[in-house]
C-alpha cells in the first residue's frame, strides 16, 4: 500500500535560486532543498545519515553537485542523493514539485521518520 502524501509549501523559488541549497523544517521534518544548476529542485533528509549533522551547513560544489558534510566530510551527489564517499549510503528523497512560485514538498504519511542512517564497516567514524 502506498502512503498518503501531505503536500506542503516549503519555500518559494525566490528562496532557492539555481545553485542554492536551503534547510527548512516542514511538519517537524528537517529537509534539505537543493536547486541543481540547470536542473530540478530536489529535497532530501536534512540531517546526515552518519551522525545527524545539518547537511545544509556543508559545502556544495555546484559544478559537480557534490555536497560535503561538515561533520566528517562524507560526500553526497545531490542529483541522486547517493553517497559517493563512502559508497552505499543514500539520502531519503522527498517528492517535490514547483507550483508557480511555490516549492511544494510531499511528506509521506506513513508514520515513520524519513531519515536513512548509514554506518561504515570501520565503525562510526
Binding interface with ligand FES (CB under 6 A): 48, 50-51, 53, 69, 71-72, 74
26 to each of 9, 11, 43, 102, how far by Cα in Å?
Answer: 8, 10, 11, 14
Residue 69: CB minimum distance to ligand FES, A: 3
Shorter beta-carbon distance to ligand FES: residue 13 or 30 = 30
Residue 36: CB minimum distance to ligand FES, A: 21
Shorter beta-carbon distance to ligand FES: residue 86 or 106 = 86
* Nearest-angstrom CA–CA distance, 120 and 67: 18
Residue 51: CB minimum distance to ligand FES, A: 4
The residue number whose beta carbon is nearest to ligand FES equals 71
* Nearest-angstrom CA–CA distance, 87 and 53: 18
Shorter beta-carbon distance to ligand FES: residue 102 or 115 = 115
DSSP string, 14-81: TTS-TT-EEEEEETTEEEEEEE-TTS-EEEEESB-TTT--BGGGSEEETTTTEEE-TTT--EEETTTT
Shorter beta-carbon distance to ligand FES: residue 8 or 53 = 53
Amino acid at each position: 500500500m502506498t502512503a498518503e502524501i501531505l503536500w506542503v509549501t516549503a519555500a518559494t523559488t525566490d528562496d532557492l535560486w539555481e545553485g542554492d541549497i536551503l534547510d527548512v523544517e516542514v511538519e517537524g521534518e528537517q529537509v534539505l532543498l537543493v536547486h541543481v544548476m540547470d536542473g530540478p529542485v530536489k529535497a532530501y533528509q536534512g540531517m546526515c545519515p552518519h551522525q545527524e549533522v545539518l547537511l545544509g551547513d556543508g559545502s556544495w560544489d555546484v559544478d559537480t553537485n557534490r555536497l560535503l558534510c561538515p561533520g566528517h566530510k562524507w560526500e553526497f551527489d545531490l542529483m541522486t542523493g547517493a553517497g559517493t564517499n563512502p559508497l552505499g549510503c543514500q539520502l531519503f528523497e522527498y517528492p517535490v514539485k514547483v507550483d508557480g512560485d511555490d516549492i511544494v514538498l510531499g511528506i509521506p504519511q506513513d508514520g515513520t521518520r524519513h531519515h536513512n542512517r548509514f554506518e561504515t564497516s570501520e565503525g562510526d567514524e
